[in-house]
Amino acid sequence: MAQEGEFRDRYEKGEAVAAIATSVGKSRNFVKNRIVKAGGTLRPMLSPEQRRKLGARLRAGYEKGATIAELTTPDIGSESQVRKLLHEAGTTMRPPSRRRKKTDHCPTCTCGQPQDSGERSAIEDSDSSDVAPQRTPVQEGVPGESAVRS
């Protein structure tokens, strides 16, 4: 069954059984059975002592600068599992990174500038004949005002 292989692949990449079950609207036991049926091996539940040791190891790596994504391995599970273990280990978490989003300016650029497509914006395209731009004449020599000529 293709579904069994998909469940196994997702699980082996680190996704939690509960997350897979939620995404397909099935129970955790259903997903576990399908993973095993497809030849997958379920990760063992950790004892409290194992969780403590793993949390301490992850904390040491995190405090040396590793990211949660870098600490996540298939044998541990998902990034959310790593985050839980770090919290259990009393780790002071860094603020989330601020990844700049790519823009239309340049597919590989993160400068934040919109792409100049030569098109006018909706504001520029709106019929502005009803409202004429207001310009206030500026007199030279008035304190706090710059001399601008229209």
pLDDT tens for each residue of 44-98: 888 999 999 999 999 999 999 999 999 998 788 888 889 999 999 999 999 887 7
CA dihedral 138, 143, 147, 149 (to 10 degrees): 0
Exposed e or buried b per residue across 4-30, where buried means at least 16 C-beta atoms within 10 angstroms of its C-beta: beebbebbeebbbbebbbeeeeeeeee
Q: Is residue 26 part of a domain?
A: yes
Q: From 43, 73, 47, select the one nearest 58 (Cα to Cα).
A: 73
Q: Is residue 135 part of a domain?
A: no
Q: From 122, 119, 150, 121, select the one nearest 136 (Cα to Cα).
A: 150
Q: Are residues 3 and 23 in the same domain?
A: yes
Judged on CB neighbours under 10 Å (0-12, 13-18, 19+), 58 is buried
Q: Are residues 65 and 89 in the same domain?
A: yes
Q: Is the pTM of this model over 0.75?
A: no
Q: Are residues 29 and 16 in the same domain?
A: yes
Q: Is residue 141 part of a domain?
A: no
Distance CA 133, CA 84 (A): 57
Query: In this predicted model, what pLDDT tens digit does every residue of 10-21 receive, in sequence order?
Result: 988 888 888 899
Q: Is residue 128 part of a domain?
A: no
Q: Could you list the residue range(s) of the whole structural domain that residue 28 is in?
A: 1-42
